Structure 1
Amino acid sequence: MPIRRGGVLMVHASLSGTGTAPETVRDALLAALGPQGTLIVPAFTPENSDTSRAHQDAVAGWSDLEVAAYRASMPPFDPDSTECPTMGALAECVRSTPGAVRSAHPQTSLAGLGPGARKLLGRHPMRSHLGRLSPMRGLYAADAQILLLRVGFEVCSAFHYAEYLMRPRPPRRTYRCVVQDKGNWVSYRDVSLDDSDFGAIGSRLPGEFLTVGDWASKTVVLCGMRDVVGHARGQMAKYRQALA
């Protein structure tokens, strides 16, 4: 299964240790997609939170006073300028490329290049991290391909869309982030996202769903979003409910 020319491709990547510039990878992927294709990457900002691992690691060992000062000084999410440092060099490269489009979610935005990016990423309300109101719905409708470039299914964000499709609906929780002004914390409720079993779910996907290769001594996987989301949803429905 090659990259589909004119299609939509969502890429999760780790370029560490390859010696390859992210611009080179970006350009190769855009060339494979062709002029009508669209390249999408996660541009998540988990550090814009007070419950994420990224935030907790940042304030570990601090006093209450130091944490309060840090929270008050945190800048708001700005889709045009906020970097996505935890998403890897390729994601930051795509996000910062002139002409790139980025969705508006302050914690789980996506960025893209290509003629379909603006339509796919134009709507992303805060109350839907990666659910039916997010760009994930459009990616699913387009049967986007997913490329895991030297990373595993542990980071396959399309599996989160499967969580939103579960019945009965998964539990919800409160999230907090900074928007509009420095230190302006807001709260909202959404599905309690859980990626702890994504690696195991990926390991159980049927082989016919996957095209597997390697690059720079690590595995590369290409698959169709509808196939893997449907299978992930089925897996979650079987054992997550049993554990609840």
Structure 2
Amino acid sequence: MRAGDVVLMHSSLRSIGFVVGGPQAVVEALLAVLTPEGTLVVPTHTPENSDPARWTNPPVPEPWWPVIRAESPGFDPDRTPAGRGMGRLAELVRTWPGARRSIHPQFSFAAVGAAAEEIVSEHLLDDALGDRSPLGAVYRLDGSVLLLGCGHANNTSLHLAEWRQADPARHLVSGSLCRPDGTASWQEWEDVAEDESDFDRIGSAFEAVADVRVGGVGAATARLMSQRAAVDFATGWMSQHRT
């Protein structure tokens, strides 16, 4: 990771262990390495902004479903916090001075740095993790992926390979969106059905043939790789191994 790079980070602060200064110190260290010419990108997904009929962890009673759909506040990139599982570092980057966030109600990304606006400015509702999402922007900018204390199961960039398959499975998606006047609207749309169940396998196969830098950060293991190389490899792997 060098000055001027674009880096998409997935992280687990708990895995790093004790850090003097906590999450703020970690983000400041990353931005210092990247310099103002570089850009730090994080996922700020909100998977809970979805159809409660499909919730499994935990499920909710069916009588609650219409209430949740009617009363959920619409996704607001400025006010809606990153969802469960995104981590403290991602939420801190979302609120960092100068941060920009994409507008997708379930799969938003936040970015800080020179290319932040370019990365998050286009994020279509029906292309959550495809070429017209921040993942596609990081790919075009030849950015890197940093897995800090987590594995390839969390490597969201591999979803871009799913969107690039010849005939990917699709499904209906729904969530609460914010209208221009600030009121909420429950909407439904169609997109590619994401599936990360084989991402660990893809990551292991990729590491066997690619240049992945592996090292320690505190108590955590960190992996740094070319996003473009990982996506290209996963695209070919999925076309051969997925049915």
Shorter-chain TM-score above 0.5: yes
Query: What's the RMSD between the two structures over aligned residues?
Result: 1.7
Distance 2:177 2:216 in 1: 40
Following TM superposition, by how much is the alpha carbon of 1:184 offset from its aligned partner in structure 2, in angstroms? 2.3
Q: Is the 8 A contact 1:14 1:151 kept in 2?
A: yes
Distance 1:83 1:12 in 2: 16
Distance 1:52 1:209 in 2: 42
Amino acid at match of 1:97: W
Distance 1:42 1:169 in 2: 26
**Aligned in 2, Cα 1:84/1:175: closer, same or farther, shift over 3 Å?**
same
Counterpart position of 1:56:
56
Partner SS for 2:13:
coil
Give TM-score scaled by structure 2 length.
Answer: 0.91
Distance 1:88 1:52 in 2: 25
Distance 2:105 2:224 in 1: 28
Q: Which moved more, 1:90-99 or 1:204-213?
A: 204-213
Distance 1:52 1:43 in 2: 23
Counterpart position of 2:167:
169
Q: Which moved more, 1:19-28 or 1:108-117?
A: 19-28
1:192 partnered with 2:193: yes
Counterpart position of 1:132:
131
Distance 2:130 2:159 in 1: 8
C-alpha deviations, 1:198-228, integer Å up to 9, x for none? 0111011135420001223331100001111
Distance 1:5 1:186 in 2: 41
**Aligned in 2, Cα 1:190/1:72: closer, same or farther, shift over 3 Å?**
same
Partner SS for 2:190:
strand
Partner SS for 1:76:
coil
Partner SS for 2:175:
strand
Counterpart position of 1:152:
151
Amino acid at match of 1:200: R
| Percent of aligned pairs sharing the same letter | 38
Following TM superposition, by how much is the alpha carbon of 1:67 offset from its aligned partner in structure 2, in angstroms? 3.2
Distance 1:208 1:239 in 2: 19
Distance 1:203 1:219 in 2: 15
Give TM-score scaled by structure 1 length.
Answer: 0.91
Counterpart position of 2:219:
217
Residue-pair matches, total: 235
Amino acid at match of 1:80: D
Distance 2:141 2:69 in 1: 39
Following TM superposition, by how much is the alpha carbon of 1:51 offset from its aligned partner in structure 2, in angstroms? 5.8
Amino acid at match of 1:26: V
Q: 2:66 aligns with which of 57, 65, 68?
A: 68
Counterpart position of 1:47:
48
Distance 2:236 2:119 in 1: 26
Q: Which runs of structure 1 show a deviation greater than 6 angstroms over 4 or more consecutive aligned residues?
A: none
Amino acid at match of 1:173: H
Counterpart position of 1:110:
109
5+ residue gaps in structure 2? none
Q: Which moved more, 1:68-77 or 1:123-132?
A: 68-77
> Residues 26-41 of structure 1 correspond to what in structure 2 (within 5 A)?
26-41=27-42
**Aligned in 2, Cα 1:47/1:173: closer, same or farther, shift over 3 Å?**
same
Q: Which moved more, 1:18-27 or 1:224-233?
A: 18-27
Q: Is the 8 A contact 1:209 1:227 kept in 2?
A: no
Distance 2:184 2:118 in 1: 31
